[in-house]
Amino acid sequence: MVTITDIAEALGITPSTVSRALAGSPRVKEDTRVAVLRKAEEMGYQRNIMAANLRKRRSDIVGIVVPRIHRQFFANVISGAESILNEAGYNVMICQTMEKLDVEIKVLRTLRNHQVAGVLLSHAIEARDSKHLAALGNIPLVQYDRVFFDYPGAKVVGANCEGAFKATKHLIESGYRKIGTIAGFMTSQAYVERLAGYRLAIESAGIPFNPDIVYENAIVRETGREAALKALEAGCDALYCCGDFCALGAVEALQEKGVRIPEDFGIVGTANEFFTSLMTPALTSLGQNPYEMGREAARAFLEGRTDTTVIPMELQIRSSSIRNTICQK
């Protein structure tokens, strides 16, 4: 393992100068700079990142915390963030919380112990408040997607309210009459806002908001099934779903009951996961631009922002929400 001292000796100068030359400091003569660079190359020098980090009391790693890596949404956020961070010379450490609070706490402690340069976080469903985030100390934190607004610092969120409004309005315009919603967990602001957007669309259309057809705490396939069956019993003919997995469950449960989609019942999901386009019928879904969200979160960290950035959401209209012409009349 060749060190800056080795290079210094080979060149008859001191490690300090080598260090400066390697760091591109202006306080070093051009000649010696090129000499150092060439020698370093020649000797196969590789900077010891540990030593540098210890000295600087900060690592070159940025932690990215996601609930689950399996979701296309988060995989895309990661890729987006990585694209920006790598360019800026940072490396990325990806951590999954599996939606569990205790894992999230453990993960944050690990990142803190590693003295990472920053953390991009979308909290676990189980995390009901922001208390545990303080464990990061003064490490810059950017919250994305699922954020706690009461915690200071940069945030990058989707236009949840606006998006859910568009999605619900689309269902209304498709001719559905009694539109319920699978609403997720009210402990998370993102879901609260989606519900608000849903409500706004409903009321804007002159329909009274009916809390009986708001199905909270559902987000996965199985709970989506249960919610859909309740909605059917309550006389609904459409559902705006806060996620694609619960929407999938809803579609399956309804189809098993002989309900035709979209003729009898309209469904819209959220996230625009890859599988939605392969379902029968293909699922209309509210896309969240995760790649762009990841890039924005990374930029927010790099620029030391403390404000909130909103990423637009786009409704990808497919078959599950379009009544055929006969029904539309």
Nearer CB in complex with DNA: 139/283: 139
Partner interacting with residue 70 (select from DNA, a second copy, none; CB below 5-8 Å by kind) = a second copy
Cis amide linkage into residue 140, ω under 30° from 0: no
| Phi, psi of 93, rounded to the nearest 5 degrees | -120, 115
If one asks whether residue 28 binds DNA (CB under 7 A), the answer comes out as yes
Find all residues with CB under 8 Å of 304, minimum gap 6, and list them.
140
Strand order in the sheet with 284-287: 214-216, 179-184, 238-241, 266-271, 284-287, 314-316
Give me the helix-helix angle, 30-43 and 15-23, nearest 10°: 90
User: Among residues 27, 30, 31, 50, which is the contact residue for a second copy, using CB under 8 A?
Assistant: 50
Beta bridge mates, 61 = 91
Q: Which stretch binds a second copy (CB under 8 A): 29-37, 109-117, 162-170, 234-242?
A: 109-117
Partner interacting with residue 275 (select from DNA, a second copy, none; CB below 5-8 Å by kind) = a second copy
Amino acid code (one letter) for 121 = L
Min dist CB 8 to DNA, Å, is 7
Q: Which stretch binds a second copy (CB under 8 A): 86-94, 192-200, 201-209, 226-234?
A: 86-94
Site residues for a second copy, window 275-304 (CB under 8 A)? 275, 278-280
If one asks whether residue 52 binds DNA (CB under 7 A), the answer comes out as yes
Q: Are 259 and 183 in contact (CB under 8 A)?
A: no
If one asks whether residue 110 binds DNA (CB under 7 A), the answer comes out as no
Q: Which stretch binds DNA (CB under 7 A): 1-9, 75-83, 269-277, 303-311?
A: 1-9
Partner interacting with residue 120 (select from a second copy, DNA, none; CB below 5-8 Å by kind) = none
For residues 59 to 78, the per-residue mask of contacts with a second copy, x marking binding by CB under 8 A and - elsewhere, is x-x-------xx-x--xx-x
Nearer CB in complex with a second copy: 112/128: 112
Partner interacting with residue 280 (select from a second copy, DNA, none; CB below 5-8 Å by kind) = a second copy
User: Among residues 25, 177, 209, 274, which is the contact residue for a second copy, using CB under 8 A?
Assistant: 274
Nearer CB in complex with a second copy: 16/110: 110
If one asks whether residue 82 binds a second copy (CB under 8 A), the answer comes out as yes
How many residues of this chain interact with a second copy, rule: CB under 8 A?
A: 36
Q: Which stretch binds DNA (CB under 7 A): 42-50, 118-126, 172-180, 319-327?
A: 42-50
Min dist CB 137 to a second copy, Å, is 9
User: Among residues 34, 38, 43, 47, which is the contact residue for DNA, using CB under 7 A?
Assistant: 47
Contact residues for DNA, defined by CB under 7 A: 1, 3-5, 12-17, 19-20, 22-23, 26-29, 31-32, 45, 47-48, 51-52, 54-57
Contacting positions for a second copy (CB under 8 A)? 46-51, 53-54, 59, 61, 69-70, 72, 75-76, 78-79, 82, 91-96, 109-110, 112-115, 248, 274-275, 278-280
